[in-house]
Structure 1
Amino acid sequence: MAFTRNLTILLFLLFTTFAFGQERYPLYANDIVAQRAWVDSVYQQMTPKERIGQLFMVDIFSSDPQVKIDKIKKLIKEEHIGGLIFSKGGPMRQAKLNNEFQAMSKTKLLVGMDAEWGLAMRLDSTYAFPWNMTLGAIQDNNIVKKVGKRIGEHSKRLGVHINFAPVVDININPANPIIGNRSFGEDKVNVTEKAIAFMEGMQEAGVLGSAKHFPGHGDTDKDSHKTLPTLNFTKERLQSVEMYPYKPIIENGIASIMVAHLNVPALVPEEGVPTSISPTVVTKMLKEEYLFHGLIFTDALNMKGAANFKEPGDIDLAAFKAGNDILLISENVPSASAKILNALQQGEITEERLAHSVKKILYAKYKVGLHNYTPVTTKNLVNDLNSRYDDIVYSEAIENAITVTKNNNNVIPVTNIDQKKIAYVGLGDDDGSAFKQQLRKYASIENITTKTLEATQEKLADFHYVIIGFHRSNANPWKSYKFTKENIRWIKEIAKTKTVVLDLFVRPYAMLDLQDTQDIEAIIHSYQNSKLAQEKSAQLIFGAIPSKGRLPVSLGDTPIRTGLQSGTLRRMSYGIPEEVGVDSDTLNIKIDSLVNLGIKRAMMPGAQVLVARRGKVIYDKSFGYHTYNKKQPVRPESMYDIASMTKILASLPLLMELESEGSIDLEDKLGTLIPELKGSNKANITLKKALSHYGRFKAWIPFYVSTLDSVTKKPLDDYYSTSYSPNYNIKVAEKMYLRTGYTDTIIKKIADSDLRSRLSYKYSDLPYYLMKKFLEDYYGQNLQELTSSHFYNSIGANYTGYRPLRKFEKEMIVPSENDTYWRNQKVQGYVHDMGAAMQSNMGGHAGLFSNSNDVAKLMQMYLQDGYYGGKRYFSKETMERFNTCNYCDNEVRRGVGFDKPQLSGGGPTCGCVPMTSFGHSGFTGTYTWADPENELVYVFLSNRTFPTMENRALIKSGLRTTIQEVIYQSLID
Structure 2
Amino acid sequence: MGNGQPVNSPRPASPTKPTPPVRTTAALPTFLRADARASRWADSIMARMPLDEQIAQLIMVAGYSNRTTGYEDSLTTLVRTYKLGGVVFFQGGPVRQAKLTNRLQSASAVPLLVAMDAEWGIAMRLDSTVRFPYQMTLGGMPQASEKLIYDMGADVARQFRRLGMHVNFAPDADVNNNANNPVINFRSFGEDKYAVARKALAYMRGMQDNRLLTSLKHFPGHGDTGTDSHFDLPLINKSRAQLDSLELYPFRELIKAGAAGVMIAHLNIPALDTTRNRPSTLSPNIVTGLLKNELGFGGLVFSDAMNMKGLTKYFPSGLADRRGLEAGMDVLEFTENIPRAVAEICKAADERTLSTQEIKDRCRKMLLAKYWVGLNNYKPVVLDNLVANLNRPESEVINRRLTEASLTVLTNANNRLPLQRLDTLRIASVSVEATAPTLFQNRLADYTSVKSFLLSSKSSDAEIKAVLDSLGQFNTVLVGVHLNNIRPAKYGVQTRTAELVQKLVGTGKAVITVFGNPYVLDKLPDLEGATALVMPYQLTNFTEDLSAQLIFGAIGASGRLPVTVNQRFRVGDGMTIQPIGRLKYTIPEEVGISSAYLAQQVDSVVNLGLNAKAYPGCVVQLAKDGKVIFRKAYGKHTYDTSLGGKAEPTQLDDLYDFASVTKISTSTPALMRLVDAGKFNIDGTMGEYLPGYKKSNKDTIRWRDVLTHQAKLKAWIPFWQATKNPDGTFKKKTFVAERSNRYPIEVTDSLFLFKKYPKTIFELIKDSPLNAKKEYVYSDLSFYLYPQIVQRLTGRDFEGYLKDSLYAPIGATTLTYNPRRFYPLSRIVPTEYDSLFRKTLIWGRVHDEGAAMLGGLSGHAGLFGTANDLMKLTQLYLQHGTYGDRQLIKPETITEFTRYQFPELGNRRGLGFEKAAYKYNGNAPRLASPSSYGHSGYTGTFTWIDPAVGLNYVFLCNRVYPTRNNNKVSELGIRTGVADAFYKAIRRGI
In structure 2, do the counterparts of structure 1 residues 479 and 601 end up closer, same or farther at CA, with 3 Å as the change threshold?
farther
Q: CA deviation at 1:596?
A: 2.0
The alignment status of 1:24 with 2:28, answered yes or no, reads yes
Equivalent residues of 2:713, 2:777 under 8 A apart: yes
Q: Which residue of 2 aligns with 1:541?
A: 551
Q: CA deviation at 1:205?
A: 2.1
Name the SS of the counterpart of 2:40 in structure 1: helix
Q: Which residue of 2 aligns with 1:360?
A: 365
Cα distance in structure 1, aligned partners of 2:920 and 2:454? 57
Q: Which residue of 1 aligns with 2:880?
A: 865
Q: CA deviation at 1:617?
A: 0.4
**Given the alignment, which residue of 735, 741, 756 partners 1:720?**
735
Q: Which moved more, 1:495-504 or 1:403-412?
A: 495-504
Equivalent residues of 1:432, 1:471 under 8 A apart: no
**Given the alignment, which residue of 319, 326, 343 partners 1:314?**
319
Q: Which moved more, 1:575-584 or 1:644-653?
A: 575-584
The alignment status of 1:615 with 2:619, answered yes or no, reads no
Name the SS of the counterpart of 2:400 in structure 1: helix
Cα distance in structure 1, aligned partners of 2:231 and 2:424? 56
Q: CA deviation at 1:620?
A: 0.7
**Given the alignment, which residue of 513, 528, 537 partners 1:527?**
537
Q: Which moved more, 1:484-493 or 1:394-403?
A: 484-493
Q: CA deviation at 1:479?
A: 10
Q: Which moved more, 1:441-450 or 1:56-65?
A: 441-450
Q: Which residue of 1 aligns with 2:712?
A: 696
**Given the alignment, which residue of 93, 96, 104 partners 2:96?**
93
Cα distance in structure 2, aligned partners of 1:240 and 1:150? 33
Q: Which moved more, 1:198-207 or 1:628-637?
A: 628-637
**Percent of aligned pairs with the same residue?**
38
Q: CA deviation at 1:428?
A: 2.1
Cα distance in structure 2, aligned partners of 1:205 and 1:26? 11
Equivalent residues of 1:431, 1:471 under 8 A apart: no
Q: Which residue of 1 aligns with 2:595?
A: 584
Q: CA deviation at 1:216?
A: 0.7
Q: Which residue of 1 aligns with 2:205?
A: 200
Equivalent residues of 2:667, 2:860 under 8 A apart: yes
The alignment status of 1:823 with 2:832, answered yes or no, reads no
Cα distance in structure 2, aligned partners of 1:888 and 1:432? 52
Equivalent residues of 2:176, 2:184 under 8 A apart: yes
Q: CA deviation at 1:552?
A: 1.0
Equivalent residues of 1:156, 1:205 under 8 A apart: no
Equivalent residues of 2:63, 2:90 under 8 A apart: yes
The alignment status of 1:114 with 2:117, answered yes or no, reads yes
In structure 2, do the counterparts of structure 1 residues 313 and 686 end up closer, same or farther at CA, with 3 Å as the change threshold?
same
Cα distance in structure 1, aligned partners of 2:599 and 2:354? 63
1:504-556 deviation line (CA, Å, top 9, x unaligned): 11111110112433421110011222112111110100011111211111121
1:712-771 deviation line (CA, Å, top 9, x unaligned): 2x4335311222222112222222111112222111111111100001001000111121
Where in structure 2 are the equivalents of 1:284-363 lying within 5 Å?
284-363=289-368
The alignment status of 1:470 with 2:481, answered yes or no, reads yes
Q: Which moved more, 1:154-163 or 1:770-779?
A: 770-779
Where in structure 2 are the equivalents of 1:612-691 lying within 5 Å?
612-629=623-640, 631-691=647-707
1:625-655 deviation line (CA, Å, top 9, x unaligned): 1110163111111000010000000111111
**Given the alignment, which residue of 765, 768, 773 partners 2:780?**
765
Equivalent residues of 1:428, 1:483 under 8 A apart: no
Q: CA deviation at 1:429?
A: 4.7
Letter in 2 for 1:886: Q
**Given the alignment, which residue of 932, 939, 951 partners 1:936?**
951
The alignment status of 1:555 with 2:565, answered yes or no, reads yes
Where in structure 2 are the equivalents of 1:82-231 lying within 5 Å?
82-139=85-142, 140-231=145-236
The alignment status of 1:61 with 2:64, answered yes or no, reads yes
Q: Which residue of 2 aligns with 1:495?
A: 505
Q: Which residue of 1 aligns with 2:277?
A: 272
Q: Which residue of 1 aligns with 2:13?
A: none
Cα distance in structure 1, aligned partners of 2:347 and 2:436? 57
Cα distance in structure 2, aligned partners of 1:755 and 1:698? 6
Q: Which residue of 2 aligns with 1:878?
A: 893
The alignment status of 1:423 with 2:423, answered yes or no, reads no
Q: Which residue of 2 aligns with 1:15?
A: none
Cα distance in structure 2, aligned partners of 1:638 and 1:523? 33
The alignment status of 1:594 with 2:605, answered yes or no, reads yes
Letter in 2 for 1:492: Q
Q: Over aligned residues, Cα RMSD in angstroms?
A: 1.6
Name the SS of the counterpart of 1:928 in structure 2: strand
Equivalent residues of 1:492, 1:519 under 8 A apart: no
1:414-439 deviation line (CA, Å, top 9, x unaligned): 11111111111111257661111100
Where in structure 2 are the equivalents of 1:569-580 lying within 5 Å?
569-580=580-591
Equivalent residues of 1:730, 1:840 under 8 A apart: yes
1:19-46 deviation line (CA, Å, top 9, x unaligned): x9993234226x7111111112211221
Q: CA deviation at 1:483?
A: 2.4
- Equivalent residue pairs, number: 951
Cα distance in structure 1, aligned partners of 2:437 and 2:841? 38
In structure 2, do the counterparts of structure 1 residues 249 and 594 end up closer, same or farther at CA, with 3 Å as the change threshold?
same
Query: TM-score, normalising length from structure 1?
Result: 0.96
Q: CA deviation at 1:243?
A: 1.2
Equivalent residues of 2:897, 2:911 under 8 A apart: yes
Cα distance in structure 1, aligned partners of 2:985 and 2:278? 62
Cα distance in structure 2, aligned partners of 1:844 and 1:560? 56
Name the SS of the counterpart of 1:637 in structure 2: coil
Q: Which residue of 2 aligns with 1:456?
A: 467
Q: CA deviation at 1:472?
A: 2.1
Cα distance in structure 2, aligned partners of 1:905 and 1:51? 74
Cα distance in structure 1, aligned partners of 2:69 and 2:197? 42
Q: Which residue of 2 aligns with 1:11?
A: none
Q: Which moved more, 1:663-672 or 1:448-457?
A: 448-457
Query: TM-score, normalising length from structure 2?
Result: 0.94
Q: Which residue of 2 aligns with 1:10?
A: none
In structure 2, do the counterparts of structure 1 residues 252 and 89 end up closer, same or farther at CA, with 3 Å as the change threshold?
same
Q: Which moved more, 1:815-824 or 1:767-776?
A: 767-776
Letter in 1 for 2:524: L
Q: Which residue of 1 aligns with 2:254?
A: 249
Equivalent residues of 2:554, 2:580 under 8 A apart: yes
Q: Which residue of 2 aligns with 1:402?
A: 407
Cα distance in structure 1, aligned partners of 2:385 and 2:69? 26
Equivalent residues of 1:472, 1:480 under 8 A apart: no
Cα distance in structure 1, aligned partners of 2:975 and 2:484? 43
Q: Which residue of 1 aligns with 2:11?
A: none
Structure 2, unmatched stretches of 5+, are 1-23, 641-645
In structure 2, do the counterparts of structure 1 residues 268 and 327 end up closer, same or farther at CA, with 3 Å as the change threshold?
same
1:39-86 deviation line (CA, Å, top 9, x unaligned): 122112211111111111110111222333233223222222111111
Q: Which moved more, 1:623-632 or 1:489-498?
A: 489-498
Q: Which residue of 1 aligns with 2:418?
A: 413
Name the SS of the counterpart of 1:469 in structure 2: strand
Q: CA deviation at 1:941?
A: 0.4
Letter in 1 for 2:298: H
In structure 2, do the counterparts of structure 1 residues 663 and 703 end up closer, same or farther at CA, with 3 Å as the change threshold?
same
Equivalent residues of 1:605, 1:624 under 8 A apart: yes
Cα distance in structure 1, aligned partners of 2:80 and 2:844? 75
**Given the alignment, which residue of 892, 895, 913 partners 2:907?**
892
Q: CA deviation at 1:377?
A: 0.5
Cα distance in structure 2, aligned partners of 1:747 and 1:903? 35
Equivalent residues of 1:56, 1:82 under 8 A apart: yes
Name the SS of the counterpart of 2:854 in structure 1: coil
